[in-house]
């Protein structure tokens, strides 16, 4: 009986192994099909990267990839005058300056909604600082500007955050932390190239090159590595028959490594798979299969943990267009004009000799040239060598060069003001201001895509905290108004479906100070008596960088924060009134809670109301005693 049971278990194991191998083969073939479909796109991205890095005498190969262009004549000049790199860098610098900041606006003016929005904003800023989110955004922006699209991957890292305990084996246990990484378009393989957003995809593959040790450490499975390119995921050991491997000229030597392609295929939730499906394959072996890992959708469903940012969107195209695509023809023409111009100048300076056959030693003349003081001996009775008249430099060279420089600015959307501190063609202040506004207008589509991507990343960050952060998550925040959040926050308080994301326009400190001064001169900070309130004084000090200056602000904000903390405690226990409390501020803050909708929804409404009323009466008695003493 035991033998029969053991045989049955072995049969099940063998059947499962065959099914897993078949599934892994199907996923690998699906990945190969998708890679073949977008081979031309990868070639274009490689060409853009080469032109951006300065390797501009190359073109797309008929077999895919990028190949070096052959020289027409050995003497032709092939120097590179790279205008693409500074143009792209100017656009990136402008986008970095105008990058919107995420904040959360309350759904209504109810006290609970206001607190939820403050908590969500605090969690976002806390997370962004911990994971260096600004650096990730910069990386995605570079990918988007050079290749057309860049991607964010929003995941939960179980080994992130602070260490909170030790398990039975002595291994550390961490609280976990959200993880946002930049993903290049080379690693993203959609099932359809004709859709424009991630939300329209039925499935998506994230494939990247990893080491065999990383696969074993993560999944406990040994796989066979091959020599491959980390950039294009192309194996050089076994290229396809009749096809050359994708490569980037000048980059292949540094890109080769021994590793394996880790394929993660994400499938959207459907009737067959209500929670979606995630399958991971490497080296022909199925490493994992299960539901989509995160509840990160708008209606608490599981969606893809990827967010796309485009440089310029194209109709019926998943991957966006890059500004480099449009600049490459202009760059080729500019290189040709400058090189031919230099060759002409060389002919003018060095000269072209005409000699009669057999009259001079041609080899000696070709090797030494006509250095100053040289004695040129020619055959008696022969014709003396003479310089060929090449004429003067044609004006068309300068005209064409100037027009190409204008084309660079026209296509890239970057004016002279963004590239040079002193533009040559514009001198008036109004003209300079118009150029600045024009630059921002040309970048508005790219900025809109960045803003949409950052909003979606912010939503997914909050949803992951809501799912994994637990009931007592420590959080470090700056600012006197956030004392409750300094201690902990409850993940269930992150009602991300009831908040509205908005972006704050990026301003330099000088622009903020100028705006504050204009508002002050207009009298918008004063009340009916012409006096500036304490709150407005604190805001002005913050704008000028003196928010934490010693004795620069009063302690009213601290009293309000203490009263808010007491509101949280009074829901369950009684709280004593302290002698040093600013009783009028406390009374206002406690009364605000009694009038909020949060109390109306509570199941212990009457009990909480009596506790708050007793606490408010104690504040009023203490306030009356202070007045009598004064």
pLDDT, residue 516, reads 77
Q: pLDDT band for position 292 (50/70/90)?
A: very high
Range of the domain at 362: 353-387
pLDDT, residue 238, reads 35
Residues 26 and 49 in one domain: yes
pLDDT, residue 265, reads 95
Q: pLDDT band for position 247 (50/70/90)?
A: very low
Give, as one character, the DSSP assignment of residue 355: -
Residues 338 and 484 in one domain: yes
Q: Which of 104-118, 280-294, 377-391, 568-582 has the highest mean pLDDT?
A: 280-294
Residues 340 and 480 in one domain: yes
pLDDT, residue 185, reads 93
In a domain, 42, yes or no: yes
Residues 334 and 424 in one domain: yes
Residues 428 and 367 in one domain: no
In a domain, 308, yes or no: no
pLDDT, residue 318, reads 93
In a domain, 222, yes or no: yes
pLDDT, residue 470, reads 67
Residues 486 and 443 in one domain: yes
- Half-sphere exposure (CA, 13 Å, Cβ side) for 100? 21
Q: State the angle between helix axes of 133-147 and 111-130 in degrees (0 to 180), rounded to the nearest 10.
A: 70
Q: Which of 445, 474, 505 is the last residue of a domain?
A: 505
- CA dihedral angle for residue 112, residue 114, residue 115, residue 120, rounded to 10 degrees: 120
Residues 131 and 215 in one domain: no
- The Cα 406–Cα 334 span in angstroms is 11
Tell me what the pLDDT averaged over the chain comes to: 78
- The Cα 440–Cα 253 span in angstroms is 40
β-pair partners for 67: 59
pLDDT, residue 190, reads 94
Q: pLDDT band for position 487 (50/70/90)?
A: very low
Tell me the helix, strand and coil percentages in the chain, rounded to 5: 50, 15, 35
Q: pLDDT band for position 305 (50/70/90)?
A: very high
Compute CA distances 260 → 21, 189, 234, 253, whole Å.
17, 17, 10, 18
Q: Answer with the residue of higher pLDDT: 442 or 619.
A: 619
Sign of the C-alpha dihedral computed for residues 376, 380, 381 and 382 taken in this order: negative
Q: What is the 3-state secondary structure (H, E, C) of 38-60?
A: CHHHHHHHHHHHHHHHCCCCEEE
In a domain, 615, yes or no: no
β-pair partners for 181: 153
Which candidate, 58, 38, 36, places its Cα nearest to that of 47?
58
> H or E stretch including 274?
none
- The Cα 179–Cα 175 span in angstroms is 13
Residue 557, Cβ density class (10 Å: 0-12 exposed, 13-18 middle, ≥19 buried): middle
Q: pLDDT band for position 255 (50/70/90)?
A: very low
pLDDT, residue 550, reads 41
Angle made by CA atoms 507, 147, 71, in degrees to the nearest 5: 125
The residue-averaged pLDDT of 408-429 equals 61
φ and ψ of 262, to 5 deg: -95, 115
The residue-averaged pLDDT of 91-111 equals 78
Q: Which of 243, 271, 303 is the last residue of a domain?
A: 303
Q: Which of 474, 505, 536 is the last residue of a domain?
A: 505
Q: Answer with the residue of higher pLDDT: 106 or 199.
A: 199
Residues 102 and 212 in one domain: no
Gyration radius of the chain over CA positions: 34
Q: Which of 88-92, 262-266, 489-493 has the lowest mean pLDDT?
A: 489-493
Domain count, the chain: 3
Q: Hunting for tokens 């409850």 — which residue is that?
A: 490
Q: Which of 178-192, 235-249, 331-345, 390-404 has the lowest mean pLDDT?
A: 235-249
Q: Is the pLDDT of residue 100 over 70?
A: yes
Residue range 53-77, pLDDT digits in tens: 888 888 888 877 788 877 777 767 7
The residue-averaged pLDDT of 478-490 equals 49
Residues 97 and 246 in one domain: no
User: Do the Cβ atoms of 484 and 471 come closer than 8 Å?
Assistant: no
Residues 61 and 130 in one domain: no
**Percent of the residues in the chain that have a pLDDT greater than 90, as a whole number:** 19
DSSP string, 200-218: G-SEEEEEEEE-HHHHHHH
Residue 163, Cβ density class (10 Å: 0-12 exposed, 13-18 middle, ≥19 buried): exposed
* Span between the terminal Cα atoms of the chain, in Å: 95
Residues 432 and 328 in one domain: yes
Q: What pTM value is reported for the model?
A: 0.74
In a domain, 530, yes or no: no
Classify the phi-psi angles of 470: left when phi > 0, otherwise alpha if psi is within -120 to 50, otherwise beta: left
- The Cα 292–Cα 279 span in angstroms is 9
pLDDT, residue 240, reads 38
User: Do the Cβ atoms of 455 and 465 come closer than 8 Å?
Assistant: no
In a domain, 606, yes or no: no
In a domain, 549, yes or no: no
| Greatest pairwise CA separation for the chain in angstroms | 130
Q: Hunting for tokens 């903390």 — which residue is that?
A: 565
Residues 325 and 406 in one domain: yes
Q: Which of 314-328, 368-382, 529-543, 589-603 has the highest mean pLDDT?
A: 314-328
In a domain, 194, yes or no: no
Residue 83, Cβ density class (10 Å: 0-12 exposed, 13-18 middle, ≥19 buried): buried
Q: Answer with the residue of higher pLDDT: 192 or 171.
A: 192
């Amino acid at each position: 009986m035991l033998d029969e049971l053991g045989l049955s278990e072995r049969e099940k194991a063998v059947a499962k192994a065959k099914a897993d191998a078949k599934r892994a083969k199907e996923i690998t073939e699906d990945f190969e099909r998708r890679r073949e479909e977008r081979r031309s796109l990868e070639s274009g991205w490689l060409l853009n990267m080469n032109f951006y890095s300065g390797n501009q005498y190359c073109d797309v190969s008929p077999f895919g990839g990028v190949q070096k262009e052959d020289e027409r004549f050995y003497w032709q000049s092939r120097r590179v005058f790279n205008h693409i790199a500074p143009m792209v860098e100017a656009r990136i610098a402008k986008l970095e300056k105008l990058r919107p900041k995420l904040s959360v606006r309350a759904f209504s003016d109810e006290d609970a909604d206001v607190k939820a929005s403050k908590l969500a904003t605090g969690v976002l800023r806390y997370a962004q600082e911990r994971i260096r989110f600004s650096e990730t955004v910069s990386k995605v922006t570079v990918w988007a500007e050079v290749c057309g699209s860049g991607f964010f991957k929003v995941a939960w890292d179980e080994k992130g955050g602070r260490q909170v305990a030790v398990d039975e084996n002595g291994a550390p246990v961490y609280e976990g932390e959200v993880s946002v990484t930049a993903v290049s378009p080379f690693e993203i393989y959609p099932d359809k190239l004709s859709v424009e957003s991630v939300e329209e995809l039925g499935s998506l593959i994230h494939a990247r090159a990893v080491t065999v040790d990383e696969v074993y450490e993560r999944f406990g499975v040994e796989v066979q590595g091959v020599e491959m390119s980390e950039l294009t995921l192309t194996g050089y050991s076994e290229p396809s028959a009749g096809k050359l491997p994708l490569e980037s000229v000048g980059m292949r030597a540094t890109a080769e490594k021994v590793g394996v392609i880790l394929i993660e295929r994400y499938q959207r939730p459907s009737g067959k798979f209500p929670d979606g499906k995630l399958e991971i394959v490497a080296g022909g072996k199925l490493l994992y299969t299960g539901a989509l890992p995160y509840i990160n959708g708008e209606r608490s469903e599981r969606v893809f943990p990827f967010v796309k940012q485009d440089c310029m969107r194209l109709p019926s195209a998943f991957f966006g267009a890059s500004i480099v695509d449009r600049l490459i023809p202009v760059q080729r023409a500019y290189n040709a004009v400058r090189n031919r111009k230099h060759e002409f100048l060389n002919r003018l300076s060095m000269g072209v000799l005409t000699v009669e056959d057999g009259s001079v030693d041609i080899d000696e003349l070709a090797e030494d040239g006509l250095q100053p003081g040289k004695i040129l001996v020619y055959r008696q009775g022969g014709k003396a060598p003479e310089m060929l008249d090449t004429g003067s430099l044609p004006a068309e060279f300068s005209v064409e060069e100037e027009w190409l420089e204008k084309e660079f600015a026209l296509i890239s959307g970057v004016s002279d003001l963004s590239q040079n501190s002193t533009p040559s063609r514009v001198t008036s202040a109004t003209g300079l201001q118009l150029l600045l506004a024009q630059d921002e207008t040309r970048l508005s589509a790219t900025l809109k895509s960045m803003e949409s991507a950052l909003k979606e990343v912010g939503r997914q960050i909050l949803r992951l905290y809501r799912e994994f952060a637990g009931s007592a998550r420590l959080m470090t925040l700056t600012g006197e108004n956030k004392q409750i959040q300094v201690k902990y926050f409850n993940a269930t308080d992150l009602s991300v479906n009831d908040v509205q994301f908005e972006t704050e326009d990026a301003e330099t400190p000088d622009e903020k100070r100028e705006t504050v001064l204009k508002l002050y001169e207009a009298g918008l900070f004063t009340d009916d008596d012409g006096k500036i309130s304490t709150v407005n004084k604190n805001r002005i000090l913050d704008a000028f960088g003196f928010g934490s200056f010693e004795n620069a602000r009063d302690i009213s904000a601290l009293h309000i924060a203490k009263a808010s903390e007491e509101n949280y405690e009074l829901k369950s226990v009684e709280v004593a009134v302290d002698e040093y409390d600013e009783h009028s501020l406390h009374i206002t803050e406690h009364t605000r809670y009694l009038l909020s909708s949060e109390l109306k929804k509570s199941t212990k409404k009457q009990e909480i109301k009596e506790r708050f009323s007793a606490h408010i009466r104690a504040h009023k008695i203490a306030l009356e005693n202070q007045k009598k003493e004064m």
